[in-house]
Amino acid sequence: MLSQKNRLTKAFFTQPHERVFSRRGATLALSVLKLPVGEGPRVAVIVSKKTAKTAVVRNCARRRVYSVLRALLPLLAPDRAYVFRVDKSIVDVSFAELSREVRILLSRG
């Protein structure tokens, strides 16, 4: 899990933010938003109940993405918020494939 200072809170989503870009992969969708200078990088992983019915599966998917992002945190832009939305197919994806997809999504921007 990422430290609290690198995660987005619910309060962040109540305010409008300028979107920099959005990208879609096989198992993840990424939206990158602008943050005030010195606040970032911040990350959120969203797994809806439609994606995974049980909390166990949702939390497992969320932890897998956070685990990949922990290693990539130094490479993220400091004035950006990264919001990942998880697709149903993440359950069947290996950690290596997930890591590769996150790197591809981040490199497109």
- Res 48: pLDDT: 92
If you average pLDDT over residues 18-28, what whole number do you get?
A: 88
Would you tell me which CATH number, out of the four given (3.30.230.10, 3.40.50.2300, 3.30.390.50, 1.10.3720.10), belongs to the domain 4-101?
3.30.230.10
> What predicted TM-score, i.e. pTM, was given to this entire model?
0.88
pLDDT tops 70 at residue 109: no
**Domains of the chain, residue spans:** 4-101
Q: Which helix (H) or strand (E) holds 81?
A: strand 80-86
Q: Is 108 helix (H, G, I), strand (E, B) or coil?
A: coil
pLDDT in tens, 25-47: 999 999 998 888 777 799 999 99
B/e letters for 76-99, b = 16+ CB within 10 Å, e = fewer, are beeebbbbbbbbeebeebeeeebb
- Res 10: pLDDT: 80
If you average pLDDT over residues 62-89, what whole number do you get?
A: 92
